[in-house]
């Protein structure tokens, strides 16, 4: 109890931000769906300039958890077809970069310094840094882990910026390509946005992605815990 009380006292703003990054996408996706319903013509037959504005805007909304990445993939696939795929990937990378910098400026390393006060917790986090490539890819692979929240957490763990961006894009690709493909095949984008896991194929793919992510993360955390608890471990952390 003392640990939790101290955690909340010293990191209230950080924890509040993390909560909002989970709650806000639910409201944001509903608002965006309503906007599309009323103004479906807005994204039809966009030229290069307006299309670039769209991708920049979606990068901003994903970074600040205003729209889920699944929503963006489906809508972009429906309105742009495969020609819009590079723009979507670029928007993901930009959203990850914005979220990473935002987390650093909001947290200022407070949570990591707090965890370092507890040798075992600090050692586990240090070990996770050494496995940051697989950690990032696996967190991005799961469609149930919020994009903006995971960006915030990974930045606070202290994963290197370039590795974070590269692994984020790589980890997002499998699920994003699947939802993007669903968008290109949709006859009613609003119905798909309301229920993206409709159909047996969608359920199987989503279940497979979640299972792969969970089992992979369990392995990574278990290995980090074992290494951190070895006698003499944690005295030096490789990044």
Question: Does residue 229 contact residue 107 with C-beta atoms inside 8 Å?
Answer: no
- Is residue 3 domain-resident? no
pTM confidence score: 0.78
Residue 128 in domain: yes
With respect to residue 19, please indicate whether it lies within any of the assigned structural domains: yes
Answer yes or no: is 20 within a domain: yes
Is residue 61 assigned to a domain?
A: yes
Please check whether residue 55 lies inside any domain of the structure: yes
Question: What angle (nearest 5°) sits at the alpha carbon of residue 173, between those of residues 131 and 137?
Answer: 10
Q: For residue 160, is it within any domain?
A: yes
Sequential DSSP letters for 200-215: HHHHHHHHHHHHHHHH
Per-residue tens of pLDDT for the chain, all 239 residues:
544 455 445 555 555 555 555 555 555 555 666 666 666 677 777 888 989 999 999 999 888 888 888 889 998 999 999 999 999 999 999 999 999 998 888 776 666 676 666 667 667 777 777 778 888 999 999 888 888 888 888 887 778 889 999 999 999 999 999 999 999 988 877 777 777 766 778 888 889 999 999 999 999 888 888 877 776 554 444 43
Q: Please check whether residue 4 lies inside any domain of the structure.
A: no
Q: Extract the tokens encoding 6.
A: 């101290």
**Total number of domains constituting the chain:** 1
Cα 111 to Cα 152: distance, rounded to the nearest angstrom: 11
Domain of residue 119: give its range: 10-30+46-228
């Amino acid at each position: 109890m003392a640990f939790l009380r101290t955690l909340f006292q010293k990191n209230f703003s950080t924890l509040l931000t993390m909560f909002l990054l989970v709650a806000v996408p639910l409201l944001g996706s509903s608002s965006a769906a309503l906007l599309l319903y009323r103004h479906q013509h807005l994204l039809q037959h966009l030229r290069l300039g307006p299309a670039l504005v769209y991708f920049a805007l979606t990068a901003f909304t994903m970074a600040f958890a205003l729209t889920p990445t699944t929503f963006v993939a489906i809508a972009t696939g429906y309105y742009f077809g495969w020609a819009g795929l590079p723009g979507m990937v670029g928007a993901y990378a930009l959203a990850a970069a914005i979220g990473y910098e935002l987390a650093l400026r909001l947290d200022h390393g407070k949570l990591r310094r707090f965890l370092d006060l507890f040798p075992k917790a600090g050692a586990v986090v240090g070990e996770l840094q050494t496995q940051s490539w697989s950690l990032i890819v696996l967190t991005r692979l799961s469609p149930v882990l919020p994009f903006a929240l995971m960006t915030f957490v990974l930045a606070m763990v202290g994963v290197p910026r370039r590795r974070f961006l590269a692994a984020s894009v790589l980890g997002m690709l499998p699920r994003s390509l699947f939802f993007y493909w669903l968008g290109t095949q949709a006859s009613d984008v609003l119905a798909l946005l309301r229920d993206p896991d409709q159909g047996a194929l969608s359920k199987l793919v989503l279940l497979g992605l979640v299972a792969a992510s969970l089992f992979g993360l369990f392995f990574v955390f278990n290995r980090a815990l074992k290494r951190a608890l070895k006698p003499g471990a944690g005295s030096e952390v490789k990044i």
